[in-house]
Structure 1
């Protein structure tokens, strides 16, 4: 080759290599908790809650919001591993488990919603596909905040160092979910055993916090959702409406009396963080549509803390 042709070849090759490299990831979102807000007459109070662990009904959102800004300023990608929540900080990392098929997946909270009364979380289309309810639209789920990962995400977001916002390329060292998620490839292999979920021991909280400090310089990628699906053991469940949780039995009894027109209203006690609460519940309820209708009626009766639960 002539020197001129050789130079052109080198330049052309360099351009191709430059194009093939992942483009720099820019943090488009920001850390956000937000002020209390009201939707459809119901007040929501965003807050940090690293002990968040609730059941409910999940939904998903997609095409109508794809490419638009999320509540913390990211660009929503329906093919990303994200979700919307009414009150959790953005970003937070949560473990979402489908209580109907046992599939469990980590997702990053980066948006507000859902605002249907009986929905606990709104997943991206991809998240719903991976958890196996994309076609049916909803699923009974458990949502748990992953404390150490969420602390680390919060630190990096407040420092302006989010690894990947939803519209940005994901680094090559992060595992991406495979296509064809609606097919049987997501079922566990024959002979595989189901692994029950385990709670993090209380005495491990201090070590969790230490692992989240800046000194270790943990890459943000280590706390990003990786698309890995685990399968956990599940038991048959029912839908209930938890009207409220009261510290005084008399208050719980009065609430139950106000709902005496309904069938199957009960008051049960539970110890939470060493404190006794009296829970007022209606159910079990046969169908989700019945539960949605009843929940809306209870909310408009003044019980604005009422929510769907799965038990």
Structure 2
């Protein structure tokens, strides 16, 4: 989410939490897909430099205009470890604001994110790049994850749909959570409570020595767990346990801040 922060010449750093009345740049109604989709009356220009191809850990990403972008996949979220840091657009990350990061959509832009487990949807301002984990399609602020009811899960299956350019002046206005669009909305299902203990998996390696080296900088609660997956023996670097999912998620974010980008929250080890 944070590997591509650049010094943007002339970028205006704005607060991502301005209210609708203050911004005066968007309304709700008549947009693509239904009355809950915002209509941006004063769109912000794409931030210079954010549409160039870039490389992260040997893989190339190629941002582009994607007006019909509509994808289902996994979403993760981040918070304290990155609060206040600059994003790819030059805005400051506010973990309580309705924002997100995407690998290739135009910046800044708006997306509609729907939690497929409960049918809850939000409109978010995309102002950063990430997440650079193969099986995830979007990274959410803590505030967005809270609106979607996915704080405890850490990672949830979502639908992401590009809405269009974000408004000039920051934010999307106000947090916007709504029921979706009739028959296209998945039926809500009761949230499930995950049972502990909770662990953070900070890596999986085929060589025990490599796993031990990876574990050395991760604190006192680290252990090496040997497992067999599809006939292969692997060594998992595990942090924990915790009885509380939120405490484990804080530890996961701490591991991400120390460079373990694909740290996973798991339960019932």
Normalized per residue, which structure has more helix? Answer: 1
Normalized per residue, which structure has more strand? Answer: 2
Give TM-score, length-normalised by structure 1: 0.43
Give TM-score, length-normalised by structure 2: 0.49
Determine which structure has more spread, i.e. the larger CA radius of gyration. Answer: 1
